Amino acid sequence: MTEQQATPQPEAGRVYERCLCREAIDRFEELFHIPGETRQHMRNSRIEFLKAIRSLIDDRIAHLSSTAQQGTKVSVE
């Protein structure tokens, strides 16, 4: 992925970070007339998609953190 750039959104005057989900929704809205209710569903799906990615990352972190490092026991006299 390239360097992240902020993209201004004219309708709300907010600045959003670029991401695949956001760009897909923007392109879809450009091609079709999207009613407000559908637009809200699309925004919610973006949030759910990002939560799914976060869940996968959290699961991987937990898996890597739980593996005990195996070593050799050395007796010291």
61 is a domain residue: no
15 is a domain residue: yes
Phi-psi bin for 59: left (phi > 0), alpha (psi -120 to 50), beta?
alpha
Distances (CA, A) of 75 to 18, 72: 56, 10
CB 42 within 8 A of CB 34: yes
Report the C-alpha gap between 5 and 2 in whole angstroms. Answer: 9
Higher pLDDT, 50 or 16: 50
Report the C-alpha gap between 60 and 66 in whole angstroms. Answer: 10
Question: pLDDT tens, 26-45?
Answer: 787 788 888 888 888 888 88
**Residue 11 is part of which domain span?**
6-52
Reported pTM: 0.47
- Checking if the pLDDT of 11 tops 60, the result is no
Report the C-alpha gap between 26 and 11 in whole angstroms. Answer: 12
14 is a domain residue: yes
Counting the structural domains of the chain, the total is 1
